[in-house]
Amino acid sequence: MTGRPRLGTVALWIVSIAVFVYLFIPLITIAVFTFNEPTTKFNTTWEGFTFDNWLHPFSESSFTDALIESIKVATVACVLATILGSLIAMALGRYRMRGSAAINLLIVLALTTPEIVMGASLFTLFFNFGADRGFGTVVLAHTLFCLSFVALTVKARTRGMDWSLEDAAMDLGSPPMRTFWKVTFPGILPGVAGAFLLSIALSIDDYIITSFVAGPTVTFPRRVFDSARIALPPQVHVLATMVMLVAIAIIVAASLGRKERRA
């Protein structure tokens, strides 16, 4: 790696740092505005410093309830999506099967369909069959868009696996179920866990599809969107910051765990 122009490297550093700053400016803005004491209905202009919002983070109960609803939806939908998605990923990533190209295409298609089209089509489905929209339909919709995501992520993981370990276990007399739990499952677990966490993030943040299928069910993004141009208390920023902190903690813990195993 010699003979690289130094000017280019410097430029690369500057651009990269600038992009990182760009990525984090809004996050810092959100965190800063949790300490704001707005005099208007909006928490978008800085007025004064206070700890009040952090002392009473759940005082805006409609937003708290919406966040709890979102967590419920995400939990059910992502467990379902992870099970269905991992199973189909095993089928595609491990076995020679008829129609695997068509199945791959279908999964990619489901992933790349614009949210607005997916939301619209689910709306027409539930409308056509006269289904009541609510918690159940939201869970179905979230399972759908997380499913294809999980399938592709886990499939990528199975491709990197050394399946001969399974043969070795079987040759040494391990029964199939034991082989699965002791060899196969630990092998795909990091992929499955990563896919699960990312689909939680997708689900908890979805507005567009949810708005089509939610009926009376109010998720956190829906609550925020509906009030964004009417009134937005600073507690919303506190709740979002809490979610962000939990996420950062999980990311840090996961990367530390990975390092330890390698060492």
Partner 1 sequence: MATDADDRTLRQAKWAPYLLAVPALGFIYLFFLVPLVTLIKISLSETGQRGSSRVDFTWEWSNFSKAFTDFGEHLVRALGYAGITTIVCILLAYPLAYFIAFKVGRWRNLLLGLVMVPFFTSFLLRTIAWQSLFADNGPLLGVAETLHLIGVLDALQITTDGKILNTPTAVIGGLVYNFLPFALLPIYVSLERIPTNLFDAASDLYSPFANTFRRVIFPMSLPGVFAGTLLTFIPASGDFINQHLLGDVNKPVIGGVIQARFLQAGDYPTAAAISLVLMLIITVMVLIYSRLLGTEDIV
Binding residues for partner 1 restricted to 112-141, rule: CB under 8 A: 112-125, 127-128, 140-141
Instruction: Find the shortest distance in angstroms from Cβ 145 to partner 1.
Output: 9
How far apart (Å, rounded) are the C-alpha atoms in residues 110 and 99? 17
The nearer residue to partner 1, 29 or 62, going by C-beta atoms, is: 29
The nearer residue to partner 1, 175 or 229, going by C-beta atoms, is: 229
How far apart (Å, rounded) are the C-alpha atoms in residues 195 and 83? 11
90 binds partner 1 (CB under 8 A): yes
How far apart (Å, rounded) are the C-alpha atoms in residues 63 and 58? 8
Using an 8 Å Cβ cutoff, are 63 and 235 in contact?
Answer: yes
Q: How many CA atoms lie within 13 A of 144 on its CB side?
A: 20
What residues between 34 and 73 interact with partner 1 by CB under 8 A?
44-46
Instruction: Find the shortest distance in angstroms from Cβ 97 to partner 1.
Output: 4
What residues between 190 and 219 interact with partner 1 by CB under 8 A?
198, 201, 204-205, 207-208, 211-212
Using an 8 Å Cβ cutoff, are 141 and 122 in contact?
Answer: yes
Q: CA-based diameter of the chain, in Å?
A: 72
The nearer residue to partner 1, 16 or 59, going by C-beta atoms, is: 16
Instruction: Find the shortest distance in angstroms from Cβ 14 to partner 1.
Output: 9
Query: Applying CB under 8 A, what is the total number of residues that bind partner 1?
Result: 98
Member of 73, 88, 138, 192 binding partner 1 (CB under 8 A): 88
How far apart (Å, rounded) are the C-alpha atoms in residues 53 and 59? 9
106 binds partner 1 (CB under 8 A): yes
How far apart (Å, rounded) are the C-alpha atoms in residues 74 and 201? 8
10 binds partner 1 (CB under 8 A): no
